[in-house]
Structure 1
């Protein structure tokens, strides 16, 4: 398959790099010409527009910062729909709205193509090594067609059901990660305020029932002081806002998520929307006068697992 990739930002640039590294015929497009030039230097072809990518490729992948940006790429002037037809596949790897991906996907299917929402989870460091997890929402036949691509992009691939289901589960998992980030920040600040050594506190959390993926990754860059996970507060607010939309449509009253939205709105008001998301802890540092850093922790997350061919994850109870 010839693959087009639109969106070469923090996540998209790493995912498309996995395709290029593993020998796929790749054409790329981004509003940032410098990002495109870097991929051309590494062997990719430059695309002129979404329509041209869809015309010349079998599969076009989008990885964009918002549902609005994706709508422009799919149905705008020179959008994917202008060249959509039988045998063509649109893979949406952005974190997006369930209703919006269904709306755009219906247009793709009506034009003869196939649509998959397949967001990723696990951090930019795992996107960079091809070890990230991927959710895929689509019919089973389409899933099997794109599985060789997905198992190159990621390590663990879960078919979640029909189009839109992957987007629901993605914002659900991002909600959980955000809740955990806030509680890790509070736990570390309380540990420092209570006179605990933060290196020891980190290990106590890591070997206990209080551990988590967020603690073991983001906790380290929080304590380093870099707070660099290549993810920003505006993106967190977008994701938990999408989760709130899902809950509202389902008629589920939430208590934690509205509070989290309030916390991140306050963080953005204080530090700016492009502030790194782990720096939400600065609200507590400012309130207490404490410095929540410790020696010996890395400045950025690095995936030390070797790159391996991915595989489909079968849900518990269906194995």
Structure 2
């Protein structure tokens, strides 16, 4: 049990699920979010409300952020009412996926005030967060990482430490998400091809998962959210597109050609351009279905 006070900033779909895990693990939370309803929900569960990131950092030695983009993360860490001005905080854990450059700038700014930044993006989505099955990828000063890991263990059984430099965990998360995004695009495209030729979608998924084509798209996303036509896996098109865009920007900066990555990015960019950004990312297959004139639908699903 986490019998300690912890700060948490960002109570959206992902952050809220992480904060719930900490409450369930026995932590006393000091929370902040721009949405007062989100804060009120946690206060009703026993958390303490704070009116700014600085107020969170005045209350605890360890605070965690899970925020929608790099601009927000940087403002929370280094802004006028940011973590950097807190009186008590010693360690700040950034769980967002926001790219290497932003995290490195945050680490430098916080270090100037004696605050260690742990770069710790998580993998597994809101469903995994609620179930406590996430992977946590961490990098940062060794001593601070040792302090943070027992807290991060509340999010899931797998914690990977990939270095002592802030930004390395971001790179690992972007590598992971680029693979995941490519898996979705290729798996969706392939099963649309099979469906057009007359293969049974349920049988296709079963064969893929017993063969070399198996990946997380075939194991979970297709059976849970595509074959059922529920399209409710739990993450938005905008989020995966952001991560692919960040990965491709890193590749360009490092001079690494990304032939498959660029094509993957174009697929997700198309979905965003068609107004699907706020929808569940499994809707990507609908565009492929429209082009092929076929639906990938499981048995027993109503027309």
Superposition TM-score, scaled by structure 2 size:
0.94
Identify which of 200, 213, 217 aligns with 2:220. Answer: 217
Distance apart, 1:295 and its partner CA: 3.0
Distance 2:274 2:169 in 1: 33
Identify which of 95, 106, 117 aligns with 1:93. Answer: 95
Unmatched tracts of structure 1, length 5 or more: 298-319
Deviation track 1:80-126 (CA, whole Å, cap 9, x = no partner) reads 111166x6111000011111101111111110111101000123211
- 3-state secondary structure, aligned to 2:157: strand
Identify which of 73, 83, 88 aligns with 2:86. Answer: 83
Distance apart, 1:296 and its partner CA: 6.1
Distance apart, 1:283 and its partner CA: 1.1
Deviation track 1:229-264 (CA, whole Å, cap 9, x = no partner) reads 221111111101110121122111111122222212
Distance apart, 1:77 and its partner CA: 2.3
Identify which of 102, 122, 128 aligns with 2:124. Answer: 122
Structure 2 residue aligned with 1:207: 210
- 3-state secondary structure, aligned to 2:231: coil
Task: Please report the RMSD computed on the Cα atoms of aligned residues, expressed in angstroms.
Answer: 1.4
Distance 1:102 1:269 in 2: 31
Q: Is the 8 A contact 1:117 1:166 kept in 2?
A: yes
Distance 2:258 2:295 in 1: 32
- 3-state secondary structure, aligned to 1:39: helix
Q: Is the 8 A contact 1:84 1:108 kept in 2?
A: no
Distance 1:262 1:137 in 2: 30
Distance 2:74 2:149 in 1: 25
Structure 2 residue aligned with 1:106: 108
Q: How many residues align?
A: 296
Distance 1:180 1:6 in 2: 32
Q: Is the 8 A contact 1:84 1:113 kept in 2?
A: no
Structure 2 residue aligned with 1:234: 238
- 3-state secondary structure, aligned to 1:235: helix
Identify which of 149, 173, 184 aligns with 1:147. Answer: 149
Distance 1:52 1:45 in 2: 11
Structure 2 residue aligned with 1:157: 159
Kindly indicate whether structure 1 or structure 2 has the higher relative contact order, using CA contacts under 8 Å at least 6 residues apart.
Answer: 1
Superposition TM-score, scaled by structure 1 size:
0.89
Distance 2:245 2:69 in 1: 12
Structure 2 residue aligned with 1:288: 292
Structure 1 stretches (4+) deviating beyond 4 angstroms? none
Distance 1:103 1:76 in 2: 12
Structure 2 residue aligned with 1:71: 74
- 3-state secondary structure, aligned to 2:294: coil
Q: Is the 8 A contact 1:4 1:59 kept in 2?
A: yes
Q: Is the 8 A contact 2:8 2:30 kept in 1?
A: yes
